[in-house]
Structure 1
Amino acid sequence: MKILTKKVRLVAAALLMSAASTTVAVAQECKNPDVIRFSMIPTEETTQELSLYQPLVNQIKAATGKNVEFFLPTSYASVVEAMLGGFVDLGMHGPYSYIIAQGNDPELRVIATYAKHKGHFQEEGPGYKAVLVARADSGYTSLEDIKGTVVGLTDPASTSGNLLPRVAFTKVIGADLEDYFSRVVYTGGHDLSGVAVIEGQVDVAFVATHRLDNVLDRGIASMEDYVVLWSSPVIPQDPFVVNGRLCPEIIDQIQNAFLTLGDSEEGRQYLENVNASKFVAMTDADYDIIRDLKAAQDAQ
């Protein structure tokens, strides 16, 4: 029996050594695709012609020497699923949808985000806020006034359009959204929420400041058409994320393409088109505030 036990231990040890060597071999391999697939969560910009993104695509092509294919998503979830499934190599997520994705795949890695220009509601820099807005002529001037009204959210995976309202805002009102409002509806996008308020489809809505600016820039409304009833703390802008299984030199090339985009006239035009001054480097730790908010929601 002792001999058998010894043999079993020797076999087990051999298997462990084999597994360890296999793990090292796998870890040393990296993904070097011929084509880099790129996707972004649905925003006001992504509904425009894809030519808007051509300068960024060209920069990534030049930096990596690879073709770039743009995958147009239908929802935040579709970008998450595409990255988790390995179909997409580079994606722009919302902060919350990134935390969801990264929780399922720790290999996902943040490389950059926008530093936005000061806008109508948007402040300068790589952060933004969620604001709760109503029509200026609605007569609503306090949170007590909107109790029992219809509120618009954007997407279940949105930071400013769902997570912050359900975590930070509910602490202010001392109740769940479904208990405080008569109805909670998802509009499908920040710009759609801003328009829904103006058109009376919802009484109030949570919108990201830089996305609400898009509605104003399109001429659909002006700042004077809205009243802000609540603002969130500043949170980091949407992260651009790569699959960490890409070869390190490719990741560095992609990140450098973002950080140097403003060096060309074409790149500067792209940044102006998305109301940004530049890209700045970001890390996973910059989104810990979102991770903490998600943990608080999960604990409810």
Structure 2
Amino acid sequence: MKKVTLLALVIILILSLITGCGSANSSSNSGTDVKDPEVITFAWLPNNASDDFKDARAEICNVIEKATGIKVVDKLTTDYAITVEALASGNAQLAFVGGESYVEAHKKNPKVLPLVVNSGDSGTLKDAMYYSRLLVKKGNEDQYKSGSDYAIDNIAGKKISFVSTSSTSGFKVPSAGIVSHFSKQDKWKTLKAEDLLQGGSDKFFSQVIFGGSHQLSLVNLLTDKSDVSAVDDFDVVNYVDLTSGTDNTPGAVYTVKKDAADPFSKLAGTQYVVIKSTPVINAPIAVNTGALSQKTIDAITQALTSDEVTKNEKIFLPKDSKYKGMFKAPQRFLTTEDAWYNPIRELSK
């Protein structure tokens, strides 16, 4: 656990060079004889279910509809567990989920597999990652310094906001980092991730709340419901500007935009500071291979990984785009396999 972040990055780099038997395109794992549904349902986590992402969701669904000839509808969820269950049960055949949610869905149903994942800016899996961060409100950051550097030593006893226990960057990664750091101290040598689920006078945190989405976990911080919040960069980038420092590094300061949409419309100008940042494997669009035919899975894969989609500015947004979405140019969709998410599984060991 002490070296989990380094281990994860090493594994990412190795696995990005390997092809495995666990991809959605593997006929041994896919539904060759499965009858396609009349309508394909695509489930979205709460982070991506807002109106801000409506156009991007619609464009992705349009690509899939055109490739398959089957109508595609959104399933917008308010809870991570709903998305995971919908995908695992086959009520949703596709879903855009975080690494931890994917691992949970695959554990429930091994026929759930990664379909595609967005690359890094290199166009490969080598830098296909985003960031899990611990944030504090601007003005309070000096409480979290050790000398001239930021540290998490003083988060003990504070109020914290996580996203969901099914969130990779909003719980799994930050909780692993907290346990790794504090278990070196005699007072917290038996600390476990499950000890961070509840607050109290005898607990690690005085209060623990779950925002349900990265956006709302950040709102908890900016409205003083939490002292520290776990929030990724990926899901809030449309609402904030980098004010000073280096993106996604300790000391970076971000400011909510003047024209930020809900839930930030009344928080324009408020600021927060990064005190810890950890890279995380990019999230997959996953497929339940027991709920779609192999022919349809192949058609969706071919369409999403095509140059046409890569150049689609409503899906992969160029800098200063007028659209809002989940993915940025010069990224693209690439295929991957179940084993690529083993570093996420390692966080639970």
What is the TM-score with the length of structure 2 in the denominator?
Answer: 0.68
1:286 and 2:290 equivalent? Answer: no
The 5 A counterparts of 1:113-262 are 113-115=117-119, 125-138=127-140, 139-142=142-145, 143-174=152-183, 175=191, 176-177=195-196, 178=199, 179-216=203-240, 219=257, 220=264, 225-232=271-278, 234-245=279-290, 246-260=292-306, 262=308
CA distance in 1, matches of 2:32, 2:161: 47
1:99 Cα deviation from its structure 2 partner:
0.5
Cα displacement (A) at 1:140: 2.2
Contact 1:128 1:208 survives alignment (8 Å): yes
More helix as a share of residues = 1
Rounded to whole Å, the distance in 2 between the matches of 1:214 and 1:125 is 21
* Residues 222, 270 of structure 2: 8 Å contact kept: no
Q: 1:223 to 1:282 in 2, by over 3 A?
A: farther
- What residue number does 1:34 align with? 38
- Residues of 1 paired with 2:181 and 2:269: CA distance? 25
Secondary structure of residue in 1 paired with 2:302: helix
1:87–1:148 Cα change, 3 Å: same
Stretches of structure 1 lacking an aligned partner (at least 5 in a row): 1-26, 119-123
Shift of 1:194: 1.4
The 1:222–1:284 alpha-carbon spacing in structure 2 relative to 1, beyond 3 Å, is farther
Determine the C-alpha separation between the residues in 1 that align with 2:310 and 2:273.
39
Q: Give the C-alpha shift of residue 128 in structure 1.
A: 1.3
Paired with 1:28 and 1:46, the residues of 2 have a C-alpha distance of 31
Aligned partners of 2:75 and 2:304: how far apart in 1?
Answer: 18
How much does 1:77 deviate?
A: 0.7
Q: Does the Cα contact within 8 Å between 2:97 and 2:286 map onto a contact in 1?
A: yes
Aligned to 2:153, the other structure's residue is in SS state coil
SS of the residue aligned with 1:211? coil
Indicate conservation of the 8 Å contact 1:133/1:226, yes or no: yes
- Matched residue of 1:226: which SS? strand
CA contact (8 A) 1:113 1:282 kept: yes
Instruction: Compute the displacement of 1:252 (Å).
Output: 0.9
Supply the AA of the counterpart residue of 2:86.
A
CA contact (8 A) 1:261 1:268 kept: no
The CA RMSD over aligned residues, in Å, is 2.6
**Given the superposition, is the C-alpha separation of residues 28 and 213 from structure 1 closer, same or farther in structure 2, using an over 3 Å criterion?**
closer
2:32, 2:295 within 8 Å by CA — same for their partners in 1? no
The percent identity for this pair of structures is: 26
| Aligned pair partner of 1:47 in 50, 63, 69 | 50
Corresponding residue number in structure 2 for 1:13: none
1:117 to partner: Cα distance: 6.1
Q: How far apart are the structure 2 equivalents of 1:128 and 1:197?
A: 21
SS in 1 for 2:72: strand
Tell me the alpha carbon deviations over residues 90-149 of structure 1, each in whole angstroms, 9 at most, x when there is no partner: 11111101101101110111011223669xxxxx94211211110120132232333211
C-alpha distance in structure 2 between counterparts of 1:256 and 1:83, whole Å? 21
**Deviation of residue 262 (structure 1)?**
4.5
- Please tell me whether Structure 1 or Structure 2 has the larger radius of gyration of its CA atoms: 1
What is the 5 A alignment of 1:258-273?
A: 258-260=304-306, 262-263=308-309, 267-272=312-317, 273=324
Aligned length: 262
Give the corresponding residue for 1:6.
none
1:201/1:28 Cα in 2 relative to 1: closer, same or farther (>3 Å)? Answer: closer
1:266-295 per-position Cα deviation (integer Å, ceiling 9, x unaligned): x3223213242222222111111111113x
Q: 2:55–2:314: 8 Å Cα contact kept in structure 1?
A: no
Change (3 A) 1:51 1:225: closer
Distance 2:107 2:225 in 1: 35
Q: Which moved more, 1:163-172 or 1:222-231?
A: 222-231
2: CA distance between counterparts of 1:144 and 1:137? 18
Residue type matched to 1:161 in 2? G
Unpaired runs of 5+ residues, structure 2, are 1-30, 146-151, 184-190, 242-255, 258-263, 318-323
| Residue 276 (structure 1) aligned with residue 328 (structure 2) | yes
